[in-house]
Amino acid sequence: MVAWIVDSVRFIDAILGGEHPLGDASPALTDAEALDAYSVAVTTVAELLIPSVASLRVSRRSRSGRQMDGAGSGVVITPDGFLITAAHVIAGAASGSANFTDGRELDFQIIGADPLSDLAVIRTTASDLTAATLGDADNLRVGQLVVAIGNPLGFSGSVTAGVVSALGRSFPTREGAATRMVENVIQTDAALNPGNSGGALADGRGRVVGINTAVAGVGLGLAVPINATTRRIIGALMREGRFHRAYLGVAVGPRPLPPRLATQVGRRSGVEVVEVFDGSPAARAGIRPEDLILDIDGVPVRTAGDLQRLMVDEVIGRDVPITIYRNGEVHTVMATPARLQV
């Protein structure tokens, strides 16, 4: 009995001392071997992107005139100082400072912001920053590994990991009198901490596929996707400081197409005009409530998001053909979208 107790104590001591209790029968794993594939992916992404994510501090004046401080994160996209962040992080501010993990604190200026997509571009004076690689969120799949990286409140390199919980989510944004739904938002269970807004959401190869924008609830985060549409917005903000949108003047909703029409056009859905605003380009073109919009400028329209994506700078002031379905017949009308005033 005493011998059994002594052997048990030695066994426990061996474990606590880092030794294998059975001697050399099973060699100890190295740190690299102990990391599983998931851990390797997350640590690789973190090491790659942490130098590209800055902690942002901004000061703004409240309506009462009191100065208020805010914080968020930003992602470096060019070595010469351009960063992208969430528009709400820098809203109401003229400038601020960016803190990097190498210890540098640099002042930044706001180049442009687009609250209707919740994206903004800022620039520091540095010329040797580590730029992140932008990916394409349109290639994401539900269940895919994603890593959220921020620099909240100066805590260097906050990293959380999870999966893409859902795609195609939307949330409302507002600028002045204009309200817009940000479409194709990425939903993830990678925890977003306060101050992570404006930080990077990356895929398993370290490419930035989203800009963290909101904490929607416990264990639920949202990110604006990086894709062809948002790349266009970011490019316009870098060049001009703003992104111009076209205005058609309709409120729409999704609607299944009648079976015969669906067979004729080769798809099952379109958008129904719910309201036409007085004096709008749509009203002048003769578009009416209950019309089904099938195509704009030759491009199929299946959802309200499709319509929004087509209302870009290139169609402002140009006669654009719009194919509609009304009273059992297909018609084409010409509309001239105007510049959206916000």
Q: Nearest to residue 233, comparing CAs of 116, 78, 134, 83?
A: 116
Q: What's the 3-state SS for 280-309?
A: CHHHHCCCCCCCEEEEECCEECCCHHHHHH
CA torsion sign for 150, 155, 161, 166 is negative
**Of the candidates 178, 63, 86, 76, which has an alpha carbon nearest to the alpha carbon of residue 126?**
76
Residue among 55, 197, 203, 306 flagged as catalytic: 197
Pick the catalytic residue from 118, 203, 291, 306.
118
52, 55, 73, 88: which one is catalytic? 88
Helix/strand/coil for 160: strand
22: left (phi over 0), alpha (psi -120 to 50) or beta: alpha
Q: State the DSSP code for 133.
A: P
CB atoms within 10 A of CB 215: 16
Q: Which residues contact 306 (CB under 8 A, 6 or more apart)?
A: 271, 299, 300
Residues 6+ apart with CB under 8 A from 68: 59, 60, 61, 62
Maximum distance among all Cα pairs of the chain, rounded to whole angstroms: 98
88 is catalytic: yes
Catalytically annotated residues: 88, 118, 197
